Structure 1
Amino acid sequence: MSSVLYVCVRPERSAADAEHRSFRRGLGVDSLDRVDLLHASLETVEWQQYDGFVIGGSPFNVTEADKSEAQLAVEHDLERIASRALDGAATALFTCYGIGVVTRMLGGEVTLAHPERVQAARIQLTDAGAADPLFGPLAPSLSVFTAHKESAAATPPGAVLLATREECPVQAYRAGDRLYAVQFHPEASPQDFADRMAVYRASGYFDPREYAHTEQTVLSASVDGDALLSGFPGLLGA
């Protein structure tokens, strides 16, 4: 059994399959086990036997007022993974939508005040980030892809801010030693993100009238996500 489980929360199969491939490449592993929470609960896999979890993004938003039963079930399972990492029994990396789930679980506020469009953005590491085993090797900053409507209003209680950006102050934090949450998409290469744009063209992450220009900007970007993800397996069992 692989020691890392990719947790998918995307309804769109093409985007989910591509994200799975992206995480596998970024982690530098030949195979990566997977569970799709919109089609199966955590109980369908031996999830408590995994040392690590990487949680992908989703068009869901924590701030949605009228959530479907499927979204509520997804968030319940994500909180179970986060609790396991918070207890130190595994290491987990939550991305984009997942940072909202973790922030709320920790007693923090999720807000619509700091959206970021589809872009490559440079984020700055804090002193804690520079000392962190996952983020530290990339200090003092890294370039990442962003695309979201909601974010943490502030670092939630008990967490340590690792990376920030003026337009969206909470870019990454760690709770305890093994629970990581990031606002950005570390798994995506420029081509990955351009392909994802096609799936979410009408979802409000960018102006569809500027599709060609935004796509070209994405394809010409240089990002450090793979460098971040490649350090994740080294945290398992440490």
Structure 2
Amino acid sequence: MRRFLVLQLRPETEAADEEFGAFLQRGGLAEADVHRVRLDEGPLPALSLDDYAGVIVGGGPGCVSDPPETKDPLEARIEADILSLMPEVLARDMPFLGCCYGMGILGHSLGAPVGKGRYGEPIGGVDCAVTEAGAQDPLLAGLPGTFRALVGHKEAVEALPDGAVHLVASGPCPFQMIRAGANVYATQFHPEAEGVNFASRIAIYKDRGYFDPADAARLTAACLAEEITVPQRILSGFVRRFRV
């Protein structure tokens, strides 16, 4: 079986390890099933996409819409590395699942506007609705038409990229899940996360501008109270569909 390539964009070891564990657990993966690359530890290594069943990209504190001169140098290099892979992913129609930051990466790569002015969402749960096109998508087949998911992002895709398919929406953020081609997906919500994961991330990122640090305890309690079950079925469905 070919492995899945898991690319992580988080510079914080605690956050990266927690996210990686969530990908394994909720995706139904063993460590032997994946090639994990933390881009904060060094440049994107030489690799061939022929070696992988699919690519999974995690979240992170960076924003593709930030002006270049304001980007942290490490986050700028991480972003440039993942963006450098996207033309081949799109040309191949390579199985790809970008999570949260991965939505901005895919949207930017497809030429869509990505920004902070319209559809950012605070930390917490949100009601998501599957579109008509989404109901026909193999990753969403058999899932309920509405579900709860965990979100927390400053920027968002502001218009559907040309040629992309709109799969899932929410009231605060219309583009919660999209697809390019037949196999390239991105979600604005976190398909790997349950409340316990967000509780950890709230502690790690409380000073990164996502929320008032004084609200950390309230947000943690709210996330822990959420019952999140459907998003992880999308992640595990991606793995099952493309496992070869």
Identify whether the pair has TM-score above 0.5, normalized to the shorter chain.
Answer: yes
Other structure's SS at 2:92 match: coil
Distance 1:49 1:231 in 2: 20
2:158 is equivalent to residue 156 of structure 1: no
Partner of 2:35: 33
Contact 2:58–2:102 (8 Å) recurs in 1:
yes
Distance 2:18 2:242 in 1: 24
List per-residue Cα deviations over 1:38-90 (Å, max 9, x = no partner).
22233255554111111110100111112344334323332344333323352
Other structure's SS at 2:149 match: strand
Distance 1:204 1:100 in 2: 18
2:127 is equivalent to residue 127 of structure 1: no
Per the TM alignment, residue 202 of structure 1 is displaced from its structure 2 partner at its CA by: 1.3
List per-residue Cα deviations over 1:172-220 (Å, max 9, x = no partner).
1000011101111111121111111100111122222222221111101
Partner of 1:9: 9
Distance 1:137 1:76, change over 3 A: farther
Per the TM alignment, residue 127 of structure 1 is displaced from its structure 2 partner at its CA by: 0.8
**Letter of the 1:211 counterpart:** A
Contact 1:50–1:90 (8 Å) recurs in 2:
no
Alignment size in residue pairs: 238
Other structure's SS at 1:118 match: strand
2:59 is equivalent to residue 57 of structure 1: yes
Contact 1:123–1:171 (8 Å) recurs in 2:
yes
Contact 2:93–2:184 (8 Å) recurs in 1:
no
**Letter of the 2:83 counterpart:** E
Q: Give the stretch that moved more between structures: 44-53 or 119-128.
A: 44-53
Identical aligned residues as a percent? 34
Q: Give the stretch that moved more between structures: 117-126 or 45-54.
A: 45-54
Other structure's SS at 1:161 match: strand
Distance 1:204 1:29 in 2: 32
Other structure's SS at 1:156 match: coil
Distance 1:186 1:121 in 2: 13
Partner of 1:176: 181
Contact 2:93–2:182 (8 Å) recurs in 1:
no
Distance 1:124 1:89, change over 3 A: closer
Question: Which ranges in structure 1 are unaligned for 5 or more consecutive residues?
Answer: none
TM (norm. structure 1) is 0.93
